[in-house]
Structure 1
């Protein structure tokens, strides 16, 4: 069943924060890798923990069944056991302890859902179908993966550097016509490897905005 409640999109800062994954198989490994990518400190609980999970740097684990109360002390919990009864137990435990729980492929026992994600440096794109069709979300992410290359990450960095320079000058970044700059052909220049020219074009746009 999809999630019918309206969803509130949010990006969590998990660096150094304790997160729990319940489950030790292939899907659990994917969840562990995603949390590690976000800088989380990940612990795994499962009757059997795969060698692939054991090999991931920084991961700790307990090879045993989930116990009531295991969620306590964690910021975020993901259960990927394939067992609805375990999912339900972890979810209800999370509700009791005030911990956010996601159950893989079990929307009824989710306090939050996980979108399909695409990263390009600091640029993060997320695609969600509210749990109604993860396959469509994954399909669309693959399309975006082909269409949105590394030049978009470089564009973000270029604009971020420009914003910092403007702030350092004591100016407001709200006064700048950023959309005009972004429509100036900068992206195409970056894509062609002409980064210096892209910076010059951005500077020209910024100068005309402040004139």
Structure 2
């Protein structure tokens, strides 16, 4: 599940290096981040895009947020934040404390609009991180460009037919679209995709898809 955090209030309890890594992912996602901790590492204390309350967590305060992370390393604090989250319907992630998590963070490989999430249900984060590295190497500029082409064709298909559902997506992707884009042959890839989706025939009203010229 991918969450839209833009403008949503997110609480981070603790302000050490682990909390700083959470903040580094939350702020670019558009979350309105509040950190609660008596002290903070410079990576948090020196940010002007995060609100920092210099005090311990107060029982029940998680109820004012949509999502919460506790990164204190103190099990009693994790347990309190988790219990408060359960009572108020707020999802809580406790760093390295699976028993006090209502959601688990996956390892994520990203490139442009693409993301691949790897989760081991909190049992082996090292394996998830290792696999992320392998997927990250696969997500090159070609995959990001292919995503752009697919997005444009999806919008065109929806405008032409009222739906983006079509069996031709898989057919086209299995026919070497990524290799073509990686080789710089975007024109062929785009035409192959349009043909598979029936967009040429939808555009000219002939009922016949145009034949793509192979590279």
TM-score above 0.5, yes or no: yes
Residue 174 of structure 1 aligns to a residue whose secondary structure is coil
Higher relative contact order (CA 8 A, sep 6+): 1
Decide whether aligned partners of structure 1 residues 152 and 57 sit closer, same or farther in structure 2, where only a CA change above 3 A counts. Answer: farther
Aligned to 2:7: 16
Q: How do residues 50-65 of structure 1 correspond to structure 2 at under 5 angstroms?
A: 50-65=41-56
Give the match for residue 22 of structure 2.
31
Two-structure CA RMSD over aligned residues (Å): 1.8
CA contact (8 A) 2:169 2:193 kept: no
Aligned to 1:110: 101
- For structure 1, the residue ranges without an aligned partner over 5 or more in a row are 1-9
Q: What residue number does 2:168 align with?
A: 177
Q: Highest CA radius of gyration, 1 or 2?
A: 2
Moved over 4 A (4+): none
Contact 2:194/2:200 (<8 A) preserved: no
**Structure 2 residue 153 is the aligned partner of structure 1 residue 158:** no
Q: Taking structure 1 as the reference length, what is the TM-score of the superposition?
A: 0.88
DSSP 3-state at the match of 1:24: coil
Query: Partners in 1 of 2:43 and 2:189 — Cα distance?
Result: 43
TM-aligned CA deviation for residue 11 of structure 1:
1.5
Q: Which moved more, 1:112-121 or 1:53-62?
A: 53-62
Structure 2 regions of 5+ residues with no counterpart?
202-207, 209-215
Per the TM alignment, residue 171 of structure 1 is displaced from its structure 2 partner at its CA by 4.7
Shift of 1:178: 0.7
Q: State the alpha-carbon separation in 2 of the partners of residues 143 and 203 from structure 1.
A: 31
| Alignment coverage as a number of residue pairs | 202
TM-score where L is the length of structure 2:
0.87
